[in-house]
Amino acid sequence: MLKYIGRRLALGIVTAWIVVTVTFFLIHLIPGDPLSAGGKQLPDQAKENFRKKYGLDQPVLVQYGMYLKNLLKADLGDSLIYVGRSVNDFIREGAPVSGKIGLLAFVIEIIIGLLLGIIAAFNRGKPTDQVILVLIVIGICIPSFVMASMLQYIFGVKLKLLPIFGFGEFKHMILPSIAIAVYGIATYGKYMRNSVLNVIGEDYILTARAKGVSTSSLVLKHVMRNALIPIITFAAVNIMFIFTGSFVIEKIFNIPGLGAYYVIAVSDSDYTLILGLTIFVAVLYILSLIIVDILYGVVDPRIRLGRGKK
């Protein structure tokens, strides 16, 4: 297992390098001077100093080498637009904000989504199942920004129960987290229902039922362990979205998270910030995929043994 994890980590490093390389050269293919395109706030002398400091006056390959060298020191560079602020500063400020909202949304998705899926599966064809299926379809079809606007209007404007803008206290996290979680709840519910239906038809489940095993024990000891395997893939990929969240949702609720910074970077042509945030998101995604493989082996030892034989 350790040998396999080592190979996956090595492959992840190579993948991250490819992402960095492709993104770097794609950004440099954009015509025009990045300091002039989005950096109108910088005086001429500051632009010149910036070019010399980061080698922007050098050939692209030299710039690429310098960027990789700085990247190995965890230096993602300075913003081209906001003088004196580095990309690391934006990540340090935005990641905890997005992380808190994303983690709360993730917990809501997991708990409610899996619970709805299990209830629907064990009541297949009954009114309960039909109601849950309708809710799942609604949750998947309604865009998150529409849900966010509805929540703002109902709980913020009409009922005046929760704030609709800003970030600071726990109450500011509730509405955006729910708006992000609705789609996840529906998706987890859908996959969990299908997964449980596949599992409860297996012979060992029928045998356990014939022996008089209670429904709660059947779900916890037999159904959940095997039904969660396909769910892990979707859940692990969502680890990335804990920090990146929803760009649109953060904009709607005026939340100073990574999504808001990404939107600002694109609108201001802040190429350094775009590249740095892209690398950060890519690394999170790669790590989430590695976690998927590790969790597969934990949930189902047969997978771990099969890989070991290879």
pLDDT band at 179 (very low <50, low <70, confident <90, very high): very high
Question: Which pLDDT tens digit goes with each residue over 253-297?
Answer: 888 888 778 877 877 777 788 888 888 888 888 887 777 777 666
User: Taking the model in full, what pTM does it have?
Assistant: 0.76
pLDDT at residue 71 greater than cutoff 70: yes
pLDDT band at 155 (very low <50, low <70, confident <90, very high): very high
187 phi and psi angles, rounded to 5 deg = -70, -45
How far is 103 from 111, CA to CA, in rounded Å?
Answer: 12
Which tops the pLDDT comparison, 16 or 236? 16
Contact by Cβ (8 Å): 241, 75:
no
Position 36 scores a pLDDT of 62
Average pLDDT for the chain? 80
Question: What would the mean pLDDT of 135-148 be, rounded to a whole number?
Answer: 90
Contact by Cβ (8 Å): 139, 186:
yes
Position 34 scores a pLDDT of 61
Nearest residue to 236 (alpha-carbon basis) of 299, 176, 143, 179: 299
CATH class of 93-267: mainly alpha
Return the domain boundaries, the chain. 93-267
- Euclidean distance between the first and the last CA atom of the chain, given in angstroms as a whole number: 11
How far is 91 from 228, CA to CA, in rounded Å?
Answer: 32
Question: What would the mean pLDDT of 54-71 be, rounded to a whole number?
Answer: 82
